[in-house]
Amino acid sequence: MSEDDATAIVGRITASADYADLAEMPLVIEAVFEDQDTKRGVIEAVGVLADPASVFATNTSSISITKLASYHPHPDKVVGMHFFNPVPLMPLVELIRAEQSSPETVEYVRGMAESFGKTVVEVADVPGFVANRVLMPMINEAILCLEGGVASADAIDLTLKLGANHPMGPLALADLIGLDVVLNIIEVLHRDLGEDKYRPAILLKRMVAAGKLGRKSGEGFYVYG
């Protein structure tokens, strides 16, 4: 990206801590912490102010879109719009229809995502959708391998990079996502699907309890900065 392009993009961004600034927005995309109560607070605050025609898209990684839509005064205007990290580089958006989502809302968000240059896949409103239902058990299994002394963190990541052609190893990816977010997603899968294969590794719980959350805290499976 050129310096001029970067400056132009930054110039189009306005920061605010006032929900009132969202009142006339045609589309609001929520991307707060992966916790149902936290998201509910945002949805309710925006819903009170939003125009009835405004669309509310949640970037949740695993929480039921139908449940989140129930917190909005116009649930037909709520849809899941799950981006992938890092968003500027990852082309995929999972589009998740709540039970209440209107066809018009779904198609509007599909069009917006495509206008961002994203590839859209529509998936069912089930815990973890597609990507995290597959990805999180893999990350959890990598943590269990580390916990069990199967191999070092470097060796586990290198094995997946070279053996499965992944651009990043699962432990490095967990650090990028944030270990607290990884734990929250796995706990949602475990609770809502009720299967032991989604039980989070003890090491993951211990690291989150210790504040070792990955890149954002400076230490996770690796040390940063």
Catalytic residues: 82
Task: Tell the burial category of 121 from Cβ atoms under 10 Å away from its Cβ (0-12, 13-18, 19+).
Answer: middle
Give 55's strand partners.
Answer: 27
Distance from the Cα of residue 3 to its chain's centroid: 29
With contact defined as beta carbons under 8 Å apart, do 157 and 169 qualify? yes
- Dist. CA 43–CA 37, nearest whole Å: 10
Amino acid 35 reads D
3-class state of residue 83 by DSSP: strand
With contact defined as beta carbons under 8 Å apart, do 186 and 200 qualify? yes
